[in-house]
Amino acid sequence: MVTAAGLAAGESSAWGALPFGAGVALRLMAIRRLGPRFTHGVELVPGHRLETQGVYRWMHHPSEVGLLLVGLGTGLLLGSVLWVPLMLLPMVLRVQAEERLLAPLR
């Protein structure tokens, strides 16, 4: 059986583990790097500074990228990535809000 990704069902499961694992690792690195400055909301905490080390040296929003990779991997593991684009709009809106909030710190 071929899925929406064009892979046989067993292949999609195997390939889903790669983005899923990479996404979990990326998100954990981002959360660990920020420590107590990591929040689930879009806000600054006392003593907040712009992070430019660790995984943040390579990208601005590694937590969100990690979450999207987890979603893609989950979709491949389950055999359907059709719902993944629905994750994009909330992520784009969050990234835009974070950029506006952090702009004065740059």
Q: pTM of the full predicted structure?
A: 0.80
pLDDT tens digits, 39-54: 889 998 888 889 999 9
Return the domain boundaries, the chain. Answer: 9-105
Quote the pLDDT of residue 48. 83
pLDDT tens digits, 11-28: 657 789 999 999 999 999
pLDDT tens digits, 54-91: 999 999 999 999 999 999 999 888 888 777 788 888 99
User: Three-class SS string for the chain?
Assistant: CECCCCCEHHHHHHHHHHHHHHHHHHHHHHHHHHHHHCCCCCCCCCCCCCCCCHHHHCCCCHHHHHHHHHHHHHHHHHCCCCCHHHHHHHHHHHHHHHHHHHHHHC
